Structure 1
Amino acid sequence: MSFDGVFLHAMTAELANQLVGGRVVKLQQPYPQDIIVVIRNQRQNFPLLLSINPTLARAQITRIPYANPKTPPNFVMTLRKYLENATVVGVEQVANDRILQLRLRSRNELGDQEDLLLIVEIMGRHSNIFLVESETNRIIDLIKHVSPDQNRFRLLMPGAQYVQPELQTGFDPFAAQAMTEQDWEQLLLALHDLKTKPNQVWQRTFQGLGKDTAAEIAQRTSRCLDLASLRDTATNFWQSFAQRQATIGDFQGQLQFSAIPYQTMTAQQTDFADLSTMLDQFYGQKAETDRKHQLASNMLQRLTTVIKRNQKKVKKLQATLDHAENADIDRIKGEILTTYLSQVPAHAKSVTLPNYYENETPLVINLAPDLSPSKNAQKYFTRYQKAKTALVVVAEQLQETQGELDYLLGVEAQVGVGDPKDLVDIQFELEQQGVLRPNQKRKKQRIKVNPAERFYASDGTEILVGKNNLQNDQLTLKTAKKTDLWLHTKNIPGSHVIISAADPSAATIKEAAMLAAYFSKARQSSQVPVDYVTVKAIHKPNGAKPGFVIYTGQHTLYVTPELALVDQLRQKPTQSVSK
């Protein structure tokens, strides 16, 4: 099921049971399109996620941890001002449309009671979240401001009157006595009209039906030939949503979810505690991937441009270096011309002279017709001197450019394996290195680097993995002990991995090596070489790029990355084996 009006009806009932009577204890905006309102009720915290992501818009209780931005956005600061310590007095759906309202009661700065509405419109790319005064219907603030040029139906700016969007046409299927006898008769006739698909008839008749819900009720009523059976079957279907049973299954080749088991879905999973738990499983990875794509798209585009530029530069410098290494032939031609100046005809385009360096073998020497023989010889000497200089200068430039290219390829790999919170560190690093333009709104002081990700070997030994260069430097040079074991893919961009033990087992080293291979540019390869050495053997040269270190005395292990093992190592064993 899409997050349609029918599913929102079931979710509203679930949220009302959990939240009404609770108190707002925390407000967060981890991402531009997501708000988390933590509500304390029934002696536990309920993190209510309100998302207006165009493809993932929803409202649910989430248990997935979110990292907060270093600087809170303006909208969440407004919410904190008005809603902290507010009491939830109601959770309601507008008709059977995709609009959810949280009724909250708070006190203003003077201590007077104030009734507020937190309204979530779940409408694809038009989704929005509003904070509205109940009494005056004035918009205090909204997460997405829309100029009058973009929406002439209503003004979506702070201070404007909140105008409800135009609701879907049709009857509310959950409203008692919504349809008359005549309405049911018209519905029955429309369903038996061969010119119109039953799915479309149901969507036109009732509010808030997604394609899957319409297909479900169309199938359940497909054998209803009289008015009584049609009405009873449809009414029973709507009433079944009172007994929620969160379900994930296959609908027409795609994974979908529903508030109750659907006959049109196959391979159904129903062992979820509630709707929110099911949505965490269904949306968790999708939401993470979507947020990562949003954060990484501009970064990757810029990285790709700079990488291509450096690759072209390396190619040109290598060609110049190859030419410079063959510069002795210019010196030889200049010397032979000088020796046989009297035999060189004026204004000739070329001349063939004996090469006394090669047993008098004839050597063809190209000439500039407009220059004298002596000046042609001087031209070859000048080219030789330039090439000698280039051997030193170009070699240095080639080494520097190749180092820059290796660094950028490493960062590109880190963007591919990093989580959204890791991409924030990578963005700051690229700003420091001049690859990205600095964020003018960012404070001058350095923001705190996110800690390395923590894993656990099968025997309980802690393994730390840096997901970007700033984390790598912090992990290897500041966090790790000198006796810890350090791992990194051999000559392949990737993460620094630390085994927090002086003498880890061979199995632990292999598991850590697998993590190093997985969080590298070679994660799709097999038999990836991974170096390991004690941290005391690691050295960072002065002025080196972030994440760059050198080491000696390493051992090399070959492993194949496995996603299943990565997920397994994220879980701490219930019992660790003592050494």
Structure 2
Amino acid sequence: MTFDGFFTHSMVKELNDTLTSGKVMRVNQPYPAEMIMVVRAHRHNYSLLVSANPTYPRIQITNIPYQNPAVPSNFAMTMRKYLEGAIIESIEQISNDRIVKINFTNRDELGDNQKLVIYVEIMARHSNLSLVSEPSGKIIDTIKHVGSDQNRVRILLPGAPFVMPPKQERTDPYLPNQKYSDLVKQDQGDLNKLTRDLQQTYQGLAFDTAKELATELVNADNLPAAYEGFLNKFNNPDPVIYTNEKGQTKFAPFPFDGISDGKNQHFATLSEMLDAFYNQKVENDRTKELAGQVLKVVKNELKKDRRKVKKLHHQLEEAADADYYRIRGEILTTYMGKLKPGMTEIELPNFYDDNKPLKIKLSPELSASRNTQKYFTKYDKLKASVAYVNEQLKITQDEIDYFENILSQIDIASPADVQDIKVELQEQGYIKQRNRGKKKRKVRASKPEQFHTSDGTLVLVGKNNLQNDRLSFKTANKNEIWLHVKDMPGSHVVIRSTDPSEQTILEAAQLAAYFSKGRNSDHVPVDYLRVKQLHKPNGAKPGFVIFRGQTTINVTPQKLNH
């Protein structure tokens, strides 16, 4: 099912039971559309995630670790100012809609009590989070600013009055009513029609929830008891994730008869279930979101570099014709006496080609010696440019290899890896840094990913250049084994053993192939050697190393267990 009004009802009850009377200790905004509040309640710290992500909007307690950006956003700073130290008084649902109201009490700068409210709207692309001051009803800030040019009905900007979304003309299912009974009689057991009519009648009914309610009502002997029993299930959830034969998953607050086929996995809380359900999906989405700016910069730099390579090759082609100018200069030198002022062209024997006649263009305004010198100057310039052009070609090609390596790292990156890549590009000058006048805050690289081979040996994999440099030259011991795919972008891999078995080396090589540009190939060559054989040239870009004395094996990419 989706995060509909009924699921919101269950989640609000869970959050109320867990967080009410808790104190907000920290507020972070690790991702653009998401906020996390660390709440101390019942002698335990809980991370309350509020997400306005258009694809995965939700509110829940999460145990998934996250990494904060180096510089907090303005929104995060505002939330910290008003919410850190605040007490959660209650968490409410507005009717049976996908709107959650979190009530806080805190003290302002003068020490006076102040009431604050967070409105969480879980509505796909219209999802938002608004901090509102009570009783004035003025917005302090929103995670997404919505001006009049975007929405004429509601303006969600700091200082504007908070206005609730337009209310649907549907019945709150938790209020006393008999509409379900009328619908059952009207639809005469037609399950699909009853499902649609229930959705049109009651607030907060997604299709799966409506179908489950329709099924229970159609099969019920006592309609009021069945209806009340269905509502009560959301107060006592048994969270479950269903996986069908195709590997597709759905979640529900309790087992639904309509989607009971396949593998069922039960969880202690709704939040634990959502962590399990969204973990990989959200990770990929967050990575794409954070990687947007990085990808734009990398692709622009690649485009410029490839255009530059094309231009440099054209210059080399011109330099290859340098002899064209030398031959004409030498012929003019030999027959200089035949050159007359004002000539635009002269035909002379080419002693480099059996004295065949050769037409040579002249500049009429120049003297004979100046015309001759003009050809030699052009020849010298072209010959001198070859060394420079070749040097520029190497520099540019190295930069192309560097950016292609960045692109391959983004393909396998987590959000923390993308943050590292962004910091690296800032340090290299490809992305402008904000707050230049302020003292730079040193950012530590995230930790490499850990795996274990079949005999239990630890293998570390760097998934970005900052991790690679730290792993290869700080973390690894000099006699441990280092691996990297041959002649293509890939991760630095270190076996934390000075004497690994052949099987361990094979499995680590498979891992190095998996975390590389060759991950979709069947046979990937992988080099391995002792860490002490690595060398990083002065001025080399992050992640670049040179080595010799390696052994190469061919493997099929494969990921190991963590």
TM-score range, shorter chain: 0.7 to 0.9
Distance 1:441 1:336 in 2: 61
- Do residues 289 (structure 1) and 284 (structure 2) align? yes
Distance 1:189 1:353 in 2: 110
CA contact (8 A) 1:350 1:364 kept: no
Distance 1:247 1:385 in 2: 78
Correspondence for 1:574:
none
Which of 529, 533, 536 is the equivalent residue of 1:533? Answer: 529
Change (3 A) 1:114 1:409: same
Distance 2:313 2:209 in 1: 63
Normalised to the residue count of structure 1, the TM-score between the two structures is 0.83
How far the C-alpha of 1:3 sits from its partner, in A, is: 0.9
Give the stretch that moved more between structures: 536-545 or 104-113: 104-113
**Cα deviations across residues 367-390 of structure 1 (Å, max 9, x unaligned)?**
448879999877765554333222
- Do residues 298 (structure 1) and 293 (structure 2) align? yes
Correspondence for 1:63:
63
Change (3 A) 1:326 1:503: farther
Give the stretch that moved more between structures: 366-375 or 296-305: 366-375
1:134-213 correspondence runs (5 A): 134-175=134-175, 177=176, 179-180=177-178, 183-184=179-180, 187-188=183-184, 191=187, 197-213=193-209
1:494-505 correspondence runs (5 A): 494-505=490-501
Q: Which amino acid aligns with 1:313?
A: K
How far the C-alpha of 1:57 sits from its partner, in A, is: 0.6
Distance 1:363 1:378 in 2: 23
Correspondence for 2:254:
260
Distance 2:223 2:456 in 1: 60
Distance 2:25 2:429 in 1: 41
Distance 1:110 1:461 in 2: 58
Distance 1:26 1:489 in 2: 43
Correspondence for 2:390:
395
Correspondence for 1:577:
none
Distance 2:359 2:95 in 1: 90
Distance 1:443 1:414 in 2: 30
Distance 1:47 1:395 in 2: 56
Distance 1:250 1:366 in 2: 82
- Do residues 316 (structure 1) and 324 (structure 2) align? no
Question: Over aligned residue pairs, what C-alpha RMSD do you find?
Answer: 3.6
Correspondence for 2:77:
77
Change (3 A) 1:522 1:252: closer
SS in structure 2 at match of 1:270: strand
Correspondence for 2:423:
428
Distance 2:58 2:33 in 1: 11
CA contact (8 A) 1:57 1:123 kept: yes
1:409-558 correspondence runs (5 A): 409-440=404-435, 443-458=438-453, 459-558=455-554
Correspondence for 1:20:
20
Give the stretch that moved more between structures: 317-326 or 53-62: 317-326
Correspondence for 1:125:
125
**Cα deviations across residues 195-214 of structure 1 (Å, max 9, x unaligned)?**
x9544322221001123323
Change (3 A) 1:315 1:72: closer
CA contact (8 A) 1:492 1:521 kept: yes
How far the C-alpha of 1:189 sits from its partner, in A, is: 6.5
Distance 2:464 2:116 in 1: 43
Change (3 A) 1:326 1:190: farther
- Do residues 560 (structure 1) and 556 (structure 2) align? yes
Please, which runs of 5 or more residues in structure 2 have no aligned partner?
Answer: none
SS in structure 2 at match of 1:430: helix
How far the C-alpha of 1:47 sits from its partner, in A, is: 1.6
Distance 2:441 2:514 in 1: 29
Correspondence for 2:237:
244
SS in structure 2 at match of 1:387: helix
Change (3 A) 1:384 1:133: closer
How far the C-alpha of 1:528 sits from its partner, in A, is: 1.7
How far the C-alpha of 1:466 sits from its partner, in A, is: 2.3
Correspondence for 2:381:
386
Distance 1:188 1:442 in 2: 69
Q: Which amino acid aligns with 1:508?
A: T
Distance 2:278 2:140 in 1: 30
CA contact (8 A) 2:482 2:531 kept: yes
Q: Which amino acid aligns with 1:74?
A: N
Distance 2:356 2:426 in 1: 55
Change (3 A) 1:314 1:90: same
Correspondence for 1:214:
210
How far the C-alpha of 1:334 sits from its partner, in A, is: 5.5
How far the C-alpha of 1:304 sits from its partner, in A, is: 1.6
CA contact (8 A) 2:241 2:266 kept: no
Distance 2:496 2:314 in 1: 46
CA contact (8 A) 1:169 1:204 kept: no
Correspondence for 1:36:
36
How far the C-alpha of 1:49 sits from its partner, in A, is: 1.0
How far the C-alpha of 1:53 sits from its partner, in A, is: 0.7
How far the C-alpha of 1:152 sits from its partner, in A, is: 4.1
Change (3 A) 1:82 1:376: closer
Distance 2:300 2:521 in 1: 25
CA contact (8 A) 2:492 2:512 kept: yes
**Cα deviations across residues 113-137 of structure 1 (Å, max 9, x unaligned)?**
5443332121222222233344444
CA contact (8 A) 1:28 1:76 kept: yes
Distance 1:121 1:13 in 2: 17
Normalised to the residue count of structure 2, the TM-score between the two structures is 0.86
SS in structure 1 at match of 2:386: helix
**Cα deviations across residues 448-497 of structure 1 (Å, max 9, x unaligned)?**
23233141433444433322222322332333333333222221122222
Distance 1:312 1:161 in 2: 52
Distance 1:197 1:342 in 2: 105
SS in structure 1 at match of 2:401: helix
**Cα deviations across residues 43-70 of structure 1 (Å, max 9, x unaligned)?**
4332211111111110111111111222
**Cα deviations across residues 164-189 of structure 1 (Å, max 9, x unaligned)?**
222322111122x2x24xx4565346
Change (3 A) 1:334 1:100: same
How far the C-alpha of 1:443 sits from its partner, in A, is: 4.5
How far the C-alpha of 1:331 sits from its partner, in A, is: 3.9
Which of 397, 401, 406 is the equivalent residue of 2:401? Answer: 406
Change (3 A) 1:139 1:351: same
How far the C-alpha of 1:98 sits from its partner, in A, is: 0.6
How far the C-alpha of 1:505 sits from its partner, in A, is: 2.9
Distance 1:129 1:374 in 2: 80
CA contact (8 A) 1:452 1:464 kept: no
How far the C-alpha of 1:439 sits from its partner, in A, is: 3.1
CA contact (8 A) 1:467 1:495 kept: yes
Q: Which amino acid aligns with 2:145?
A: H
Q: Which amino acid aligns with 1:245?
A: D
CA contact (8 A) 2:513 2:557 kept: yes
Distance 1:221 1:350 in 2: 104
Correspondence for 1:9:
9
Distance 2:136 2:335 in 1: 103
CA contact (8 A) 1:457 1:508 kept: no
Distance 1:366 1:295 in 2: 63
Identity over aligned pairs, percent? 45
Change (3 A) 1:188 1:79: same
Distance 2:449 2:265 in 1: 32
Change (3 A) 1:109 1:343: closer
Distance 1:364 1:522 in 2: 57
Distance 2:217 2:374 in 1: 94
